[in-house]
């Protein structure tokens, strides 16, 4: 295995064929890279759903929080294995960018890791343009905030919501479960900072967004078939850039749960 840093953060991994599975030694080598930089990228992989799931499962139990995830982990009678697919059949590419967020941050058990695998992005003149996955490091961004604001955030809680899926209040700054490193929670899902007035809340969010989502500090992944991304869903916020829905963007998703998630599939 060779790990090559990418800019502005993260690592591209080479010398590994994920069809062969990964052993404890490789998992042990990958985890410090993910804990430090937030994600790893594998290119040129040829994986079916079962192989992707087998890789992801080395990092924890599958999440069963969302019905579409739960359904994806069941084997069909013919022995095939499915995972959740993003295939833009519902026209999701025709809407503006999907703003930065952390999956399931609106409930007590955010996802631990996410994996996305690039299946098909068209050919020739119909090749996908746009539709990049964007990753922002919520720990590094904390270091870019003014000291006074950081001290306030250490004392504050924020409430996050995801449409009809409910709300949850959590500290504005949490600490990584493996390293203890502090990272920011507020994102596009944030409804309020509890006890903070509307005007100050708006100003605080502008400052946070400027630090978190400055393009100079965001990794922008331009998809190719066979790409596999694995990232820490708490340490990183993710977004999706706009793309022309007439082009293909087919991506397969596998979500790894917090071990305390009551709906986790172990």
For 110-146, write each residue's pLDDT tens digit: 999 999 999 999 888 788 888 999 999 999 999 999 9
Q: How far apart are CA 172 and CA 155, in angstroms?
A: 8
What is the length of the chain?
A: 266
Q: How confident is the model at residue 254 (pLDDT cuts 50, 70, 90)?
A: very high
pLDDT in tens, 171-225: 999 999 999 999 999 998 999 999 999 999 999 999 999 999 999 999 999 999 9
pLDDT higher than 60, residue 95: no
Residue 122: the pLDDT is 86
pLDDT higher than 60, residue 90: no
- Cβ atoms 235, 38 nearer than 8 A: yes
CA-angle at 141, arms to 140 and 142, nearest 5°: 90
Q: What domains lie within the chain, and their CATH numbers?
A: 2-256 (3.60.130.10)
| The model's pTM | 0.93
């Amino acid at each position: 295995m060779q790990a090559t840093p990418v800019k502005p953060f993260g690592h591209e991994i080479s010398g590994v064929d994920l069809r062969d599975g990964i052993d404890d030694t490789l998992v042990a080598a990958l985890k410090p890279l993910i804990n430090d930089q937030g994600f790893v990228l594998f290119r040129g992989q040829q994986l079916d759903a079962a192989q992707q799931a087998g890789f992801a499962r080395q990092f924890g139990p599958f999440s069963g929080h969302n019905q579409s995830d739960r359904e994806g982990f069941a084997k069909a009678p013919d022995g095939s294995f499915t995972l959740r697919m993003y295939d833009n059949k519902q026209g999701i590419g025709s809407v503006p960018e999907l703003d930065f967020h952390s999956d399931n941050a609106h409930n007590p058990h955010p996802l631990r890791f996410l994996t996305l695998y690039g299946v098909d992005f068209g050919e020739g003149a119909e090749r996908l343009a746009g539709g990049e996955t964007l990753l922002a490091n919520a720990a590094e961004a904390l270091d870019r905030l003014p000291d006074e604001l950081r001290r306030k955030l250490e004392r504050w809680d924020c409430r996050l919501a995801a449409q009809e899926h409910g709300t949850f209040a959590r500290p504005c700054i949490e600490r990584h479960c493996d390293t203890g490193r502090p990272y920011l929670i507020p994102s596009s899902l944030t409804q309020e900072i509890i006890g903070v007035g509307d005007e100050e809340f708006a100003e605080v969010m502008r400052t946070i967004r400027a630090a978190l989502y400055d393009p100079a500090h965001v990794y922008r992944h331009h998809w190719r078939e066979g790409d596999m991304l694995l990232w820490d869903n708490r340490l990183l916020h993710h977004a999706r850039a706009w793309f022309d829905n007439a082009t293909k963007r087919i991506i397969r998703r596998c979500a790894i749960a917090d071990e305390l998630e009551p709906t986790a599939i172990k």
